[in-house]
Structure 1
Amino acid sequence: MASISLDGVDIGPDCVSVFQQLKLKKSYEYIIYNISGDKKHIVVEKTSTSEKHDAFIADLPETECRFAVKDFRFEIDPTEGERNKILLIVWSPDNAPIRNKMVFAASKGNLKRRLNGIAAEIQGTDYSEIAYETIT
């Protein structure tokens, strides 16, 4: 079993470039990050162009932690039109293994420091906490 430092794991080489594609080029609606099998890097697990929030939620596993970046689109007032914010979602379900939660918690800062342009961070322990209605 690999030992994890208190600083967590570092981010992989494509994490920032894929984030830039979401942020600047609007190439993706969301990115899901995981920690590599050898526990050495945060890696891009999936990208998606789906605008459906339900599709995003379905891509988060029930019993494992993940980081996600979502270009969240919402409307406050119909007269003002659609707005968007880039969110960092820290998915840490209640029934995830403790070690998995610890590694993700220790690594969050490394990812957040490198992804410039995150408007807000949301912590989710069950699907209701990251539902569209809850976030808006």
Structure 2
Amino acid sequence: MASGVKVTDEVIAVFNDMKVRKAQANEDEKRKRKKAILFCMSKDLKNIVLDDGKEILLGDLGTTVQDPYQHFVKMLPPDDCRYALYDATYETKETKKEDLVFIFWAPESAPLKSKMIYASSKDAIKRKFEGIKHEWQVNGLEDLKDRHTLAEKLGGSSVVSLEGAPI
């Protein structure tokens, strides 16, 4: 069932910016690239929009953000749903990788109406996010707490480190 919710151009632009890595980007452009971002419903529930201020920039890493994964987990609202993109940097036994992970956050404590609207609108945002390899529905902090669950999603037992920290 589709909800009729639209994805704003701003959300699509952020996704495209995160998806396309510019090899010739200067240091300033790299610092402004997003490591993670949250999306929410607009007040009138008709559009999926950027969740104001809920992002991690690459330039924040090592300064205001020490552990990007833990910082990302803390950004999620404890009692409402969100969509998120997380640019995971990880190593397998063979190689280093970076992949975008689409996360549908629907905690048990979220209102039923919110869960229904977000669930029925998920396809709208997923259709706009072409080329996402990893999708993850998370229903509580216990699913997110440690890096093992994300490492499983990214490559199972072949993942040896996530965000520079060993698994």
2:72 counterpart residue number: 56
The match for 1:116 is: 130
Pairs within 5 Å for 1:24-39: 24-25=20-21, 27-39=33-45
Aligned partners of 1:113 and 1:74: how far apart in 2?
26
List, as ranges, runs of 4+ consecutive aligned residues in structure 1 with deviation greater than 4 Å: none
Higher radius of gyration, 1 or 2: 2
Q: TM-score, normalised by structure 1?
A: 0.88
1:19/1:31 contact within 8 Å kept: no
Summarize the alignment of residues 84-103 of structure 1 with structure 2, pairs less than 5 Å apart.
84-103=98-117
Match of 2:85 among 63, 69, 73: 69
Displacement of 1:65 in angstroms is 0.2
Encode CA deviations 1:92-120: one digit per residue, 9 max, x unaligned. Answer: 00110000000000000000001112111
Output aligned runs, 1:120-131, within 5 Å: 120-130=134-144, 131=146
Unaligned 5+ segments in structure 1 are 1-5
The SS at the match of 1:37 is: coil
Deviation sequence 1:23-60 (CA, Å, 0-9, x none): 11461111100000111100011332155100100100
Q: TM-score, structure 2 length as denominator?
A: 0.72
- Cα distance in 2 for partners of 1:128, 1:16 equals 30
Supply the AA of the counterpart residue of 2:2: D
Match for residue 6 of structure 2? 10
- The alignment's C-alpha RMSD in Å is 1.5
Q: Is the 8 A contact 1:75 1:83 kept in 2?
A: yes
**Distance apart, 1:74 and its partner CA:** 1.4
Amino acid at match of 1:37: K
Structure 1 Cα separation of the partners of residues 16 and 135 of structure 2: 17
Query: How far did residue 81 of structure 1 move?
Result: 3.8
Query: How far apart are 1:21 and its partner, in Å?
Result: 1.2
Find the aligned partners of 2:131 and 2:124 in 1 and give their Cα distance.
14
Return 5+ residue gaps in structure 2 as ranges. 22-29, 62-67, 152-167
Give the Cα–Cα distance (whole angstroms) in 1 for the partners of residues 116 and 74 of structure 2: 23
